[in-house]
Chains A and B, each alone.
Chain A
Amino acid sequence: MNDQIIFEDVSKFYGEVLGVNRISLTIPPGITTLVGPNGSGKTTLMNLMTGLVQPSSGRISVVGLSPSNSPELFRILGYCTQFDSFPRGITGWQFVFDSLMLQGMSETEAVQLTIESLERVQLGDAAGRKIAGYSKGMRQKVRLAQAIAHHPRVLVLDEPLNGLDPMARAESIALFQELGRQGMHLLISSHILDEVDRISDRVVLITGGYLIAEGSIQQVRQEVREKPMQVLIRCDRPALLASRMFAINHCVEARLHADGRGVFLRTADIDQFYSILNGIAAEGLVKIEAVAPADDDASAIYQYLIGSDGSAL
């Protein structure tokens, strides 16, 4: 069975308004994050792959199944939407339990899975209360509990960290990572780019309905060749190192680290940069402690490709 999510030349127009345009994308299992500004088409992409909206053109396959009116798909897919609304007057328990019963499970099995999923999101104690009385973070959690309760293979999460306090956010991220390690598909849209870095195997950058880039963060960063890469070098004599690099006329920018124990160097040719750095290290004038890329994170890629500071989203 095909274990990939495939978009083939998919477009979606809402009347004359563009949702997404000619998206072709193949997503393997693991954690994939959709990154883009508001109105870029992230939610449209998620709604398309879950059949909540139909594509104007193109074809979508989710692990070999078509999202269009496909009960089989929803046995293996959970979608935690960002719509902060619930059926009126319902408790957390009823919300999760009813959705499991619609899977055609026995009552015993549904009860067991309801308990398991509510405890997994730390909501066991509040399960009997009406959702209308929940905080925003609790509503986010109960949506997540409902989405994972039936042990889906594909989990789609639209802004799942919104409204969560730092502790709950850390717990959710740990849960996503655990699910990702289990071989599950996780497609997450997030505005919190620092956390995208920590959890994503792949990123998909989208803006204005167009796909900008996709792949691992490092792959995407390397494709942005016109932007010099920044490297942080921890060493005992950062100023000397910077001057040597400029003497060779290689680096385009140097900035000392605030603690005086390192230097940020920006280079247009990372391979040659490492070769030169090796030479300097071999000379013994500078004692190098650590070398790490400083801008192959989601925030930097976002800034380069989409043009604004990701943190401002």
Chain B
Amino acid sequence: MREKMASFWKHLAGQPWGLWWIQARRLVRIEVRRNLFSWRAGWIYFLAFIPTFIILIHLMADTHHSSWISDDTNVLAGIVQLYYIRLGVFFGCLGIFSRLIRGEMIERSLHFYLLSPVRREVLLLCKFVAGSISAVLLFGSAILADFALMYAGFGAAGTDYVFNGPGLGQIEAYLAIVVLACLGYGAVFLLLSMMFKNPTPAAMLVLGWEAINPVMPSILQKISVASYLRHLMPVSVSADGIFALLTVQTEPVSAWAATLGLLVLIAVVLVYSCYRMRTLEIRYTTE
């Protein structure tokens, strides 16, 4: 066993890590450029910043009393949980990550990457990293802007809430949730885009699964991105009507266990994606 481990480490050490690092930096730069600076990304900007626009109107049009801070805090928590996690990040990641492989197959340009001296696993992981950076930059900056605008109208009370109260902890948690959501949904959509010519119907099934997941047995709840993220929310959202389905409370799980669980789920999905990438064939005529 010890010999096998030694052999494994020796094998790892013998890999061209320096070359992979150079290739990865270049690939990520190319992909981030394509993800963020194209007209086709416009609708993802819209998804990310539409709440920011609404909060900006709220800031300019409504009066703010210091006693209403807790109300606005609940509204912001609702926006993050019900809009960003369930819809904004979900569809944004669908747009970004399903384009990385399938989009290039449809545009008939993936072969340029496959004909370069880059290991396919490195290529896939770089595309995933680039997609994650793009999604996190968009949705992270949107949530930061939402947060700043939400409390800007409260003046000194708002500043006090952010810097001396629970505000900074909440924004840290929201950012962590957005990062994990982008990684989780990103990994899932990247895999779906490799499995299906049109990943949208499968993504709709995932959306449905995420919606009904809270009422599933606990073992099935582990196969869900949103179920892990729910345990990380700094402010619980109580909702009525149809929104109640989205906010069902489940057995409490510690933040570190939820984070670790989600990271394991992401790792499993990525490993399987790497396997599919190894055997991927370029047959554009069937796309």
Q: Judging by beta carbons under 8 Å apart, are B119 and A69 in contact? A: yes
The answer to whether A52 and B112 touch (CB under 8 A), given A69-B278, A75-B117, A98-B30, is no
* Contact among A50, A54, A86, A104 for B115, CB-based, below 8 A: A50
Chain B CB within 8 A of A66 CB: no
* Contact among B23, B34, B114 for A89, CB-based, below 8 A: B34
Q: How far is the CA of A54 from the CA of B279 in the complex (A)?
A: 8
| A residues less than 8 Å from B112 (CB atoms) | 86-87, 99, 146
What are 10 inter-chain pairs, A to B, with CB distance below 8 A? A47-B282, A52-B114, A72-B117, A74-B116, A79-B115, A81-B111, A83-B111, A99-B112, A102-B26, A104-B22
The answer to whether A98 and B34 touch (CB under 8 A), given A51-B114, A53-B283, A71-B117, is no
Interface secondary structure of A, over-half rule: loop
The answer to whether A74 and B19 touch (CB under 8 A), given A14-B283, A69-B278, A86-B109, is no
Chain B CB within 8 A of A101 CB: yes
Q: How far is the CA of A77 from the CA of B113 in the complex (A)?
A: 13
Q: B19, B30, B117: which has the most chain A beta carbons within 10 Å?
A: B117
Chain B CB within 8 A of A88 CB: yes
A residues 132-178 touching B (CB-CB < 8 Å): 146
Chain B: which residue is nearest A77 at the CB level?
B115
Q: Judging by beta carbons under 8 Å apart, are B282 and A102 in contact? A: no
Q: How far is the CA of A74 from the CA of B30 in the complex (A)?
A: 20
Q: Judging by beta carbons under 8 Å apart, are B108 and A85 in contact? A: yes
Chain A: which residue is nearest B39 at the CB level?
A89
Chain B CB within 8 A of A311 CB: no
Task: Kindly provide the distance from the CB of A40 to the nearest chain B CB, expressed in whole angstroms.
Answer: 15
Q: How far is the CA of A89 from the CA of B39 in the complex (A)?
A: 10
| A residues less than 8 Å from B19 (CB atoms) | 104
| B residues less than 8 Å from A52 (CB atoms) | 111, 114-115, 281-282
Chain A CB within 8 A of B38 CB: yes
Q: How far is the CA of A81 from the CA of B286 in the complex (A)?
A: 17
Q: How far is the CA of A104 from the CA of B119 in the complex (A)?
A: 12
The answer to whether A88 and B38 touch (CB under 8 A), given A52-B282, A53-B281, A72-B117, is yes
Task: Kindly provide the distance from the CB of B213 to the nearest chain A CB, expressed in whole angstroms.
Answer: 36
Chain B CB within 8 A of A103 CB: yes
Interface string of B12-30 (1 = CB under 8 A from A): 0000000100110011001
| B residues less than 8 Å from A85 (CB atoms) | 107-109
Task: Kindly provide the distance from the CB of A150 to the nearest chain B CB, expressed in whole angstroms.
Answer: 9
Chain A CB within 8 A of B243 CB: no
Q: How far is the CA of A99 from the CA of B113 in the complex (A)?
A: 8
Counting from the closest, the 7 A-B pairs by CB-CB distance are A85-B108, A71-B117, A74-B117, A52-B282, A102-B116, A101-B26, A104-B19
Q: How far is the CA of A34 from the CA of B279 in the complex (A)?
A: 26
Residues on A facing B (Cβ under 8 Å): 14, 47, 50-54, 69, 71-75, 77, 79, 81, 83, 85-89, 98-99, 101-104, 146
| B residues less than 8 Å from A99 (CB atoms) | 112, 116
Interface residues on B, range: 20 to 34
Q: Judging by beta carbons under 8 Å apart, are A103 and B116 in contact? A: yes
Chain B: which residue is nearest A105 at the CB level?
B22
| B residues less than 8 Å from A98 (CB atoms) | 26, 30
Chain A CB within 8 A of B284 CB: yes
Chain A CB within 8 A of B87 CB: no
Task: Kindly provide the distance from the CB of B227 to the nearest chain A CB, expressed in whole angstroms.
Answer: 35
Q: How far is the CA of A72 from the CA of B136 in the complex (A)?
A: 34
| B residues less than 8 Å from A77 (CB atoms) | 115
Q: How far is the CA of A182 from the CA of B107 in the complex (A)?
A: 35
Interface string of B254-287 (1 = CB under 8 A from A): 0000000000000000000000001101111010
* Contact among A75, A81, A87 for B34, CB-based, below 8 A: A87
The answer to whether A71 and B34 touch (CB under 8 A), given A52-B281, A81-B111, is no
Chain A CB within 8 A of B230 CB: no
Chain A CB within 8 A of B120 CB: yes
Q: How far is the CA of A87 from the CA of B279 in the complex (A)?
A: 22
Chain A CB within 8 A of B145 CB: no
Q: How far is the CA of A83 from the CA of B106 in the complex (A)?
A: 12
The answer to whether A89 and B282 touch (CB under 8 A), given A104-B22, A104-B117, is no
Q: How far is the CA of A52 from the CA of B23 in the complex (A)?
A: 20
| B residues less than 8 Å from A86 (CB atoms) | 109, 112
